[in-house]
């Protein structure tokens, strides 16, 4: 790798380009290789400059960020971070599905966030993106036909009244939204399980992620709310700002929020969720650790394993970042390490095993 990280800044606003360039200048290991004011210029400069990382605005004249992204990826190995608006998170998830590795909420002229906060967030994202092997991005984002495992045919909605036999807790971070899409495509409403997802996201993006997963899955996916009861055939996405855990009272499992301190610098944290699922469900707990930077979910996965539950970990070859799953492997927390395309099949198999012994 180079001794410095070369970044191409793309935005139609001169003010935003200036703000981002100032933020990047705060780290001597990061240099601005160039700036572009629209998608057409971004495609040309990406090919000519071959930057390591590109910050790419979504809404631009002439050619939008979504239109430019596939062309950039054809001619450059740059890792692309989208500048997005909280008002249009669905477009953000489309960009991630097209191969962007991460995103940050776009700064505005009247924003209350200080330049220090912007700098910290942006530089952290840049450094994480730079560590991603460009060869990993297509492997994680593409849908390889030989790996995709289709779910069973969905049963009638009466299946939702079956007893809840398993709780599946899923952790993901960098590269997570496209990975979650692949997993949820393969899940079936016919299985007597509920699912809870912790995906590290900025404020305001969890509800739209739930909506997107709901649109591609046979099960019902919604943003978690404090006090919700876990129901068979339903999935819950943890919102930003509070830890999401499972509480069991009088034999009924429900979602609970806590204001406990951040874990690994994040809240919600997968470790908090996983440990509560291990305690509440024991042998009926299933933990899944997908792509992501850091170590969140590893110790929680170990707690599920020690409680007699099952743990499935995404392998390195299909992970955008093998931080979280890699740490889980190092702790010997998993029972199986599999490619992303087989994760849903392993979840289904694990739930069926619990169904057979119940």
Domain CATH for 72: 3.40.50.2300
Check whether residue 240 and residue 104 sit in a common domain: no
- Does 338 fall in a domain? yes
Q: Report the range of poorest mean pLDDT among 54-58, 97-101, 103-107.
A: 103-107
- Does 274 fall in a domain? yes
Closest Cα to residue 269, out of 227, 308, 297? Answer: 297
Burial class (CB in 10 A: 0-12, 13-18, 19+), 97: middle
The one catalytic residue among 13, 173, 208, 319: 173
Once rounded to an integer, what is the mean pLDDT over residues 91-100?
A: 92
Q: Is residue 314 within 8 Å of residue 325, measured between CB atoms?
A: yes
What is the SS3 assignment for 34?
strand
The one catalytic residue among 57, 296, 310, 315: 296
- Does 141 fall in a domain? no
Closest Cα to residue 172, out of 135, 118, 209, 121? Answer: 209
Domain boundary among 79, 114, 131: 131
Supply the pTM of this predicted model.
0.88
Alpha helices in 195-283 (DSSP H): 206-216, 270-281
Closest Cα to residue 56, out of 45, 71, 44, 68? Answer: 68
Check whether residue 108 and residue 174 sit in a common domain: no
Count of domains in the chain?
2
Would the pLDDT of 95 be above 50? yes
Check whether residue 313 and residue 164 sit in a common domain: yes
Closest Cα to residue 7, out of 22, 26, 21? Answer: 21
Check whether residue 109 and residue 168 sit in a common domain: no
Check whether residue 183 and residue 111 sit in a common domain: no
Q: What is the mean pLDDT of the chain?
A: 89
Q: Is residue 274 within 8 Å of residue 304, measured between CB atoms?
A: yes
CA 205/CA 220 separation, integer angstroms: 18
Would the pLDDT of 210 be above 80? yes
**For the chain, what percentages of helix, strand and coil (3-state, to nearest 5) are there?**
40, 25, 40
Active site annotation includes 200 = yes
φ/ψ region of 278 (left if φ > 0, alpha if ψ in -120 to 50, else beta) reads: alpha
Q: Could you tell me which residue, 15 or 312, shows the higher pLDDT? A: 312
- Does 340 fall in a domain? yes
Active site annotation includes 12 = no
Give the pLDDT band of residue 106 (cuts 50, 70, 90).
confident
pLDDT of residue 184: 97
- Does 137 fall in a domain? no
Once rounded to an integer, what is the mean pLDDT over residues 266-275?
A: 98
Tokens 């290789």 map to which residue?
33
pLDDT of residue 138: 59
Check whether residue 335 and residue 187 sit in a common domain: yes
The one catalytic residue among 13, 190, 200, 217: 200
Check whether residue 173 and residue 322 sit in a common domain: yes
Check whether residue 181 and residue 308 sit in a common domain: yes
Would the pLDDT of 349 be above 90? yes
- Does 122 fall in a domain? yes
Q: Strand pairing of 243-249 and 252-258?
A: antiparallel
Domain enclosing residue 47, as ranges: 5-131
Check whether residue 164 and residue 282 sit in a common domain: yes
Give the CA distances from residue 213 to residues 132, 195, 216, 217, in Å, rounded to whole numbers and listed in that order: 25, 12, 5, 6
pLDDT of residue 140: 45
- Does 67 fall in a domain? yes
Check whether residue 90 and residue 166 sit in a common domain: no
- Does 147 fall in a domain? no
CA 83/CA 115 separation, integer angstroms: 16
Would the pLDDT of 352 be above 80? yes
Q: Is residue 113 within 8 Å of residue 107, measured between CB atoms?
A: yes
pLDDT of residue 358: 67
Would the pLDDT of 114 be above 90? no
Would the pLDDT of 307 be above 80? yes
CATH number of the domain that residue 244 is part of: 3.40.50.180
Check whether residue 167 and residue 97 sit in a common domain: no
SS (H, E, C) 45-99: HHHHHCCCEEEEECCCCCCCHHHHHHHHHHHCCCEEEEEECCCCHHHHHHHHHCC
Active site annotation includes 172 = no
Would the pLDDT of 60 be above 50? yes
And the tokens for 141?
A: 């984002």
Check whether residue 251 and residue 348 sit in a common domain: yes
Bond into 147 cis (ω within 30): no
Q: Is residue 299 within 8 Å of residue 276, measured between CB atoms?
A: no
The side-by-side arrangement of strands in the sheet containing 102-105 is 30-36, 5-10, 53-57, 79-84, 102-105
């Amino acid at each position: 790798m180079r001794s410095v990280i070369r970044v191409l800044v793309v935005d139609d606003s001169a003010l935003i380009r200036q703000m981002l360039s100032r933020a990047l200048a705060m780290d001597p290991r990061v240099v601005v290789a160039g700036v572009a004011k629209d998608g057409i210029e971004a495609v040309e400069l990406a090919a000519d400059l071959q930057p390591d990382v590109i910050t790419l605005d979504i809404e631009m004249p002439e050619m939008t960020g979504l239109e430019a992204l596939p062309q950039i990826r054809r001619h450059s190995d740059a890792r692309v971070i989208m500048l997005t608006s909280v008002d249009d998170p669905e477009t953000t998830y489309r960009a991630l599905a097209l191969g962007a590795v991460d995103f940050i909420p776009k700064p505005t002229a009247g924003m209350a966030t200080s330049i220090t906060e912007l700098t910290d967030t942006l530089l952290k994202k840049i450094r994480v993106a730079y560590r991603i092997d460009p060869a990993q991005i297509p492997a994680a984002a593409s849908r390889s036909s030989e790996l995709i495992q289709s779910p069973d045919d969905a049963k009638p909605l009466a299946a939702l009244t079956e007893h809840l036999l398993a709780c599946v807790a899923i952790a993901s971070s960098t590269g997570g939204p496209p990975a979650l899409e692949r997993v949820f495509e393969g899940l079936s409403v016919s299985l007597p399980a509920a699912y809870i997802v912790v995906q590290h996201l900025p404020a305001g993006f969890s509800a739209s992620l739930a909506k997107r997963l709901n649109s591609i899955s046979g099960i019902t996916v919604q943003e978690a709310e404090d006090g919700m009861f876990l129901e068979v055939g339903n999935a819950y996405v943890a919102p930003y700002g509070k830890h999401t855990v499972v509480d069991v009272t009088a034999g009924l499992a429900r979602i609970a929020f806590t204001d406990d301190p951040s874990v690994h610098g994040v809240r919600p944290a997968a470790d908090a969720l996983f440990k509560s699922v291990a305690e509440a469900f024991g042998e009926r707990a299933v933990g899944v650790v997908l792509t992501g930077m850091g170590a969140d979910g590893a110790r929680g996965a170990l707690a599920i394993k020690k409680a007699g539950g099952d743990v499935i970990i995404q392998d390195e070859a299909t992970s955008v970042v093998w931080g979280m799953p890699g740490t889980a492997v190092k702790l010997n927390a998993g029972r199986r390490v599999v490619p992303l395309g087989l994760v849903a099949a392993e979840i289904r198999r694990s739930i069926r095993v619990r169904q057979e012994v119940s």
